[in-house]
A = this chain, B = another copy of it.
Amino acid sequence: MYDYVKGDIKMEKRLLLLGLLRSHEMHGYQLNEILKNELGLPIKLKKSNAYKLLTDMENEGLIIHHEKQEGNRPVRRVYSITKKGEEAFLNFLRKNIATCPSPQFPAVVGLDFMFALSSDEVVSLLQERLELLNKKFQALDALSEDIRQSHLSIEYHHNYYKNEIQWLTKIIDRYQS
């Protein structure tokens, strides 16, 4: 029933939600506030999808909720992880760690067709790309060493962008000569 050998990404989104609920019980809105914060989050998970996964996981018995109201605020569904959910979490986690990621890179195809453009244009397009990469890197680089070391996924991205920048710089150099 929890055998997500293929649907790695769906499993991973569940893993993320379970992992967050494991430290604190939370309601959907609270989770989504965390998930909104692009930077520092390992993967993308949008609001409506998060709500759906929460109800799915509750139907599967991985989490439960109780309703809570503070003042006249809208009623919240405060979710917490069950024993079954904790087991699922550990299994997802083991699979996730032992998996060799084969990411979907966007913007790789173009690399094979650069000969179709003049090398001047290619260089300026690649430089545009490099600038965007630099911005992303700097945002991650601005975070403290502490945060990066405690959130390994951030360090992972930090390292990824560093490498990406190095590689692209090399390619631009090669293309210019």
Which residues of A approach B to under 8 Å, CB–CB?
8-9, 12, 15-16, 19, 22, 42-44, 89-90, 92-94, 96-114, 116-117, 121-122, 125-126, 128-129, 132-133, 135-136, 151-153, 156-157, 159-160, 163-164, 167, 171
Q: Once the chains are docked, how many angstroms separate the CA of A149 from the CA of B160?
A: 21
Smallest distance from the beta carbon of A6 to chain B beta carbons, Å?
11
Chain B residues closer than 8 Å to A129, beta-carbon distance: 97-100
- Point out the residues of chain B lying under 8 angstroms from A105, CB to CB: 42-43, 101, 103, 156-157, 160
Q: Is the interface of A mostly helix, strand, loop or mixed?
A: helix
A167 B171 Cβ-Cβ under 8 A: no
Task: Determine if A43 and B125 form an interchain contact, defined as CB atoms under 8 angstroms apart.
Answer: no
Contact, CB under 8 Å: A103 / B100: no
Contact between chains at B156 and A110 (CB < 8 Å): no
Chain B residue with the shortest CB-CB distance to A127: B98
* Pair A96/B116 contact, Cβ less than 8 Å: no
* CB-based contact A112/B159 at 8 Å: no
CA distance A128 to B29 in the complex (A): 37
